[in-house]
């Protein structure tokens, strides 16, 4: 019986790349997203019979239960990996973030991850030697100016990952996170924040930061499910930030103050 992975945010970006990577290894792929056309596009890239799709709003706890029950039935009773990947991004000065932006960040990026983990637990426990893999971010290494709420949600995902890895160890479930820097996915092609005409991607380019290919994230995901390491950095930005946050936090703060234009 082939191994099975359920991927949220599977309609594009990281979710699509991870689906392709695991499909190459012969896994059965569950794809979930609110974007049904994106789901169809991803499924079309996978071998025939290798995938199962469902529309899922990760903010809906009952929908999680229904989706996972149906997927496990389709997979022959297995859930080897739940990839909690769906997310949204809004930035800009904190005082300018709208209530809708703040609520969506918290509800999708953290509440959705927590709901997914809780809904998946019995299936992961029954499969054994299973993995809960969460997409955190390099923003979970040090609070990012201009990304206050987004960064806070990713710190929450990091904390959940660490706590559940301990809680679930006795149930045969490993819990891991991915911490990518900037990945050029559709998530970056939306406005940086409400009222902005500049895309998130343009903001990254202006800052002179690099993009990590989505295929690198997918390869790291494949490695992470077999690794004893808890958090997995992806890309140069993430590695540099991790080093600075650990060894030079004062200098990192001063750099952020200058780059954010304090005093201008």
- Separation CA 90–CA 111 (nearest Å): 16
Region 173-196: mean pLDDT is: 68
CATH superfamily, with its number, for domain 4-259: NAD(P)-binding Rossmann-like Domain (3.40.50.720)
Query: Residue 180 in 3-state DSSP?
Result: strand
**Residue ranges covered by each domain of the chain:** 4-259
pLDDT digits (tens, 9 = 90+) for 107-117: 999 999 999 99
- Separation CA 239–CA 216 (nearest Å): 14
Region 221-249: mean pLDDT is: 91
Query: Residue 264 in 3-state DSSP?
Result: coil
Of the candidate ranges 69-73, 150-154, 205-209, 222-226, the one whose mean pLDDT is the lowest: 205-209
Query: Residue 59 in 3-state DSSP?
Result: coil
CB 186 within 8 A of CB 13: yes
The reported pLDDT for the residue numbered 205 is: 41
pLDDT digits (tens, 9 = 90+) for 18-56: 999 999 999 999 999 999 999 999 999 999 999 999 999
Residue 73 corresponds to which tokens in the numbers above? 């039935």
Give percent of the chain with pLDDT exceeding 90.
72
**From start to end of the chain, where are the E strands?**
4-8, 28-33, 51-55, 81-84, 130-135, 173-180, 231-234
**Which are the catalytic amino acids?**
150
pLDDT digits (tens, 9 = 90+) for 60-84: 999 999 999 999 999 999 999 999 9
Give CA angle at 5 (127, 7), nearest 5°.
Answer: 135
Query: Residue 75 in 3-state DSSP?
Result: coil
């Amino acid at each position: 019986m082939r191994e099975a992975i359920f991927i949220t945010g599977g309609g594009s970006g990281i979710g699509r790349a991870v689906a392709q990577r695991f499909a190459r290894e012969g896994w059965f792929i569950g794809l979930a997203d609110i974007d049904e056309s994106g789901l169809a596009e991803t499924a079309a890239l996978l071998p025939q019979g290798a995938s199962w799709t469902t529309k899922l709003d990760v903010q809906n706890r009952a929908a999680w239960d229904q989706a996972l029950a149906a997927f496990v039935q389709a997979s022959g009773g297995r859930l080897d990996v739940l990839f909690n990947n769906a997310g949204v991004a809004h930035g800009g000065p904190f005082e300018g973030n709208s209530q809708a932006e703040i609520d969506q960040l918290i509800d999708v990026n953290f509440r959705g991850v927590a709901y997914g983990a809780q809904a998946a637990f019995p299936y992961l426990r029954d499969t054994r030697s299973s993995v809960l893999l969460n997409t955190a971010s390099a923003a979970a290494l040090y609070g990012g100016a201009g990304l206050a709420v987004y960064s806070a949600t990713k710190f929450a995902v990091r904390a959940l990952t660490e706590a559940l890895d301990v809680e679930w160890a006795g149930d045969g479930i490993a819990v891991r996170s991915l911490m990518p820097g900037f990945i050029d996915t559709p998530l970056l092609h939306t406005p940086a924040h409400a009222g902005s005409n500049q895309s998130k991607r343009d903001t990254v380019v202006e800052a002179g930061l690099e993009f990590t290919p989505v295929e690198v994230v997918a390869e790291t995901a494949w490695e992470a499910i077999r690794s004893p390491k808890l958090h997995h950095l992806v890309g140069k930005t993430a590695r540099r930030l991790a080093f600075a946050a650990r060894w030079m936090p004062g200098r990192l703060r001063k750099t952020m103050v200058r780059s954010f234009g304090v005093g201008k």
